[in-house]
Amino acid sequence: MSQTLAHWILFLVMLTMANLPFVSNRIMGVFKTAQKSGWVRVLEVLVGYLLTGLVGTGLEATLGQINPQRWEFYALTFCLFLVLGFPGFVYRFLWRSPKAA
């Protein structure tokens, strides 16, 4: 696998996991619920970030050596994850009418 392909795979996984809490009423897209609270969505965002990190670490391991990271890396990638989740947030809370939610 090339490094460019790994970057695109990671970007698509990150985009999907960041928007999943907002576009689906299922928990992590799997477990059906009647209504999700805001705290469940926050927990889903955190779990999605962790799962995306595991995918990224796995892709990095297949390409070579895993580089150690400090807290700045995780703060920056979490902010990027939140920015990538913004379209789903806009769709769920700002764009749709209140009757459809």
pTM of the model: 0.86
Domain presence at residue 38: yes
DSSP class of 101: -
Domain presence at residue 100: no
Total number of domains in the chain? 1
pLDDT in tens, 31-88: 887 788 889 999 999 999 999 999 999 999 999 999 899 999 999 999 999 999 999 9
Domain presence at residue 23: yes
CA angle, residues 37, 43, 44, in degrees to nearest 5: 90
Kindly state the average pLDDT of the residues 6-29. 91
